[in-house]
């Protein structure tokens, strides 16, 4: 928390009552000063806006076929067309919808479930902790993408199954981070104070412990979004993702595999879309990590 200490150095005597609000301000200000964060955030805003307004900004229907097969990028088809004469630009913009939706929804679900599991395991200990930790340890033995593949192998393909698979694959990271935080917060004086004035377990957990775990959780969530987007693209590319014909970046790459030697644009642009999205998320996540100073949790991939 290096940054907050600097503020305290300047005004050592005035510990304002509204510390929470002040902290939030410093947080935003340092974010604004970080060049990487600003670039990442701007690109992400453009991507989300593009995904939301896809039907207005795309010149063609993403599934409309045409007789202009495998056309190179031109003024009529900005990024060219695929083997069925579909406009690549329109398909990539629509593809952003799936990628961003899967990336955000899986991480949101994984965060909620993972945080609850971590809180329960860390706070109550005993058999609850044992049970949850056995499960987390089981997942810990494998990289997230492999777990997602295992789960899709079991559940089958399709958008819902992919979301379930990626959510389950990522939630152990959150549970692990939160549990280790709770274990140390639990011993703090203010928790004892809260307990001695008769706070219920629920109130201690939600009102006193949960707010103190937010920084690492936010950082973990940002990092996870980029991995979730990569995982979805990978699953779609392997044919384990969404239904065929849905425009997603991974699937466009997979569909066009046979035409790559003749049509470089089919290989380059969808991959570029994935890379730019993941890169800006990583930029943003990296800046958050510096600001919140949670390096010790960095290894949780």
Partner 1 sequence: MTGYIIKRTFYALVVVWAVATIVFFMLRAVPGDPFRAMLADVDPAAAEVLRRKFGMDRPVYVQYFLWFGRIVQGDLGNSVYGSNVAVSRIIREAFPRTIALSTLAFLISLLLAISAGVISAIKKHTFLDHVFTFVAFIGLSMPDFWLGIILIIVFAVKLHWMPAIGYVPLSEGMWPWLSHLILPAIAIGTPFSAIIARMTRSAMLEVLQSDYIMVARAKGLRERTVIFTHALRNALIPVITVVGIAFALLMSGAVIVENVFAIKGLGRVLIQGILNRDYPVVQGAILVVSVIFVFTNLLVDLLYTIIDPRIRYQ
Out of 152, 209, 251, 288, name the contact with partner 1 by CB under 8 A. Answer: 152
> What is the DSSP track for 143-202?
-HHHHHHHHHHHH-SSHHHHHHHHHHHHHHHHHHHHHHHHHHHTTSHHHHHHHHTT--HH
Residue burial 131-145, b: 16+ Cβ < 10 Å; e: rest = ebbeebeebeeeebb
Q: How many residues bind partner 1 (CB under 8 A)?
A: 40
| Residues 241, 162 contacting (CB under 8 angstroms) | yes
Out of 58, 111, 222, 226, name the contact with partner 1 by CB under 8 A. Answer: 226
Out of 215, 274, 288, 291, name the contact with partner 1 by CB under 8 A. Answer: 274
Tell whether residue 8 is a contact of partner 1 (CB under 8 A): no
Q: How far apart are CA 286 and CA 281, in angstroms?
A: 8
| Alpha-carbon separation of residue 208 from 26, 205, 212 (angstroms) | 22, 6, 7
CB of 157 to partner 1, least distance (A): 8
CB of 260 to partner 1, least distance (A): 6
Out of 84, 116, 183, 268, name the contact with partner 1 by CB under 8 A. Answer: 268
Q: Provide the angle, in degrees to the nearest 10, between the axes of the packed helices 2-10 and 19-33.
A: 120
Give the contact letters, 94-133, x = binds to partner 1 (CB under 8 A), - = no: ----------------------------------------
What is residue 81's three-state secondary structure? strand
Nearer to partner 1, 70 or 194 (CB): 70
| Residues 87, 62 contacting (CB under 8 angstroms) | yes
Out of 76, 130, 275, 296, name the contact with partner 1 by CB under 8 A. Answer: 275
Q: How far apart are CA 188 and CA 209, in angstroms?
A: 10
Segment lying near partner 1 (by CB under 8 A), choices 88-96, 111-119, 151-159, 195-203? 151-159
81, β-bridge pairs: 87
Segment lying near partner 1 (by CB under 8 A), choices 77-85, 86-94, 145-153, 173-181? 145-153
Report the interface residues with partner 1, using CB under 8 A.
137-138, 141-143, 145-146, 149-150, 152-156, 226, 230, 233-234, 237-240, 250, 253, 257, 260-261, 264, 267-268, 270-271, 274-275, 278-279, 282-283, 299, 301
């Amino acid at each position: 928390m290096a940054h907050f200490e600097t503020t305290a150095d300047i005004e050592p005597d005035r510990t304002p009552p509204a510390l929470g609000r002040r902290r939030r301000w410093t947080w935003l200000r340092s974010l604004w000063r970080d060049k990487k964060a600003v670039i990442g955030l701007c690109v992400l805003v453009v991507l989300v806006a593009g995904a939301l307004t896809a039907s207005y900004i795309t010149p063609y229907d993403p599934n409309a076929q045409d007789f202009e097969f495998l056309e190179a990028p031109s003024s009529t088809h900005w990024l060219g067309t695929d083997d069925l004469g579909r406009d690549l630009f329109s398909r990539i913009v629509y593809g952003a919808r799936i990628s961003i939706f899967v990336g955000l929804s899986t991480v949101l679900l994984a965060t909620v479930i993972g945080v609850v599991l971590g809180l329960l395991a860390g706070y109550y200990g005993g058999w609850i902790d044992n049970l949850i930790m056995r499960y987390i340890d089981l997942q810990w033995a494998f990289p997230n993408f492999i777990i997602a593949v295992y789960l899709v192998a079991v559940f089958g393909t399709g958008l819902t199954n992919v979301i379930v698979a990626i959510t389950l694959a990522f939630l152990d990271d959150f549970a692990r981070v939160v549990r280790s935080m709770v274990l140390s917060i639990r011993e703090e004086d203010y928790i004892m104070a809260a307990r001695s004035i008769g706070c219920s377990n629920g109130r201690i957990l939600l009102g006193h412990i949960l707010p103190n775990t937010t920084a690492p959780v936010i950082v973990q969530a940002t990092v996870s979004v980029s991995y979730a987007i990569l995982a979805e693209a990978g699953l779609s590319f392997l044919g384990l993702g969404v239904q065929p014909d849905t425009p997603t970046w991974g699937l466009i790459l997979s569909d066009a595999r046979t035409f790559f030697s003749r049509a470089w644009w089919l290989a380059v642009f969808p991959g570029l879309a994935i890379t730019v999205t993941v890169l800006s998320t990583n930029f943003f996540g990296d800046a958050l990590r510096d600001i919140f100073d949670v390096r010790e949790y960095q290894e949780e991939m």
